[in-house]
Structure formats: C-alpha cells, structure tokens
Amino acid sequence: MTEETVDYTAEANLLIEEMNKQPDDVHEIQIRLRQKISMMRAEGLPIPENFIKLEAELDKALTVED
C-alpha cells in the first residue's frame, strides 16, 4: 500500500466514523466519500473493497429515505 493510499484510507475511515457519530449528516458524508474515491481513481490508486461496499450501502440507504 502506498503512502497516498494510506492517506486516503485514513481520510475515508474518518468519514465512516463521522457517519456513525452523526447519522443525520449521512448525505454530506456520502458526498465526501465519493470525492475521496474519485480522487483515488483519478490517481490510479486501488479502491479498498470496504469503501466500495460502504458507497453501495449509502446509495441504498439514501434511496430508501427518498
């Protein structure tokens, strides 16, 4: 794992913690998580499987809310 991947992973993990602490802000956290994933893809970094799963879970949760 490269240093860049570790940095993005740490940032995404902080977003996950925020989501757990502030469930009312899930939509904002989803936007920020998508930004991190997009940045990782743009830099050619591997996307951790748990981020992909979380993104799908957030999509599903927000679809149910709508």
pLDDT tens for 13-65 read 787 787 778 777 778 878 888 888 888 889 898 888 878 888 888 788 777 66
Band of residue 2 on the pLDDT scale cut at 50, 70, 90: low
pLDDT at 42: 92
* Predicted model pTM: 0.66
- DSSP alpha helix (H) spans, 1-66: 3-21, 26-42, 49-65
- CB-CB neighbours of 7 under 10 Å: 13
Band of residue 8 on the pLDDT scale cut at 50, 70, 90: confident
pLDDT at 19: 74
